[in-house]
Amino acid sequence: MSEKLEQLNQAAADVTQTDFKNCCGSKNWARMMIELRPFANTSALIKQAEEIWLNLETEDWLEAFAAHPKIGARKAAPKQQAQSASWSHGEQSGTHAVADSVLDALAEANRLYEEKFGFIFIVCATGKSAEEMLDLCRRRLKNDADSEIRIAVDEQRKITEIRLRKLLEIE
């Protein structure tokens, strides 16, 4: 067991609550993760994280989505913690050095998406360019609401796994 995982297993609940909420903005997800400690290894932690996430209610998913800044946004989401904001900034590095026209198009696509689905566009941005994310957003705007929430849930699952690995420093 890694030293970081051992610390996570033994840390006070309030400390771990913050760590888990940095990985996924759902309070219920974080609470359930705390209750399942100790984790035997990273694989067990990732498996439990995914199982909990996929079995949450829609309101929990929406809470997690709201903890993210919009793709291409220059500031953190209102409810975002410093560590989570830092991770978001790095994950969205594909939007840092792009033309204003691309950022404007992303902002408009984000607006249309949120207007249609009622939540922000969620995509696992790691390794994606701004243009690629813009194209994904535009394509996903064609989805129906039921399909789109499932896609967004899976994107959040990917983000959470990446962040859990960052938390444990096993990128």
Query: Letter for the amino acid at 83?
Result: Q
Residue 77 has φ and ψ, to the nearest 5°, of -65, 150
Residue with tokens 């991770």: 87
Query: Nearest CA to 35 among 53, 22, 17, 47?
Result: 17
How far, in Å, CA of 70 to CA of 66, rounded?
9
Q: Which residues of 56-84 are buried (b: 16+ CB within 10 A; e: fewer)?
A: beeebbbbbbebbbbbbbeebbeebbebb
Active site residue 68: yes
Query: Letter for the amino acid at 36?
Result: L
- Which of 34, 65, 68, 128 is the catalytic position? 68
Query: Nearest CA to 156 among 64, 29, 92?
Result: 64
The residues annotated as belonging to the active site are 68
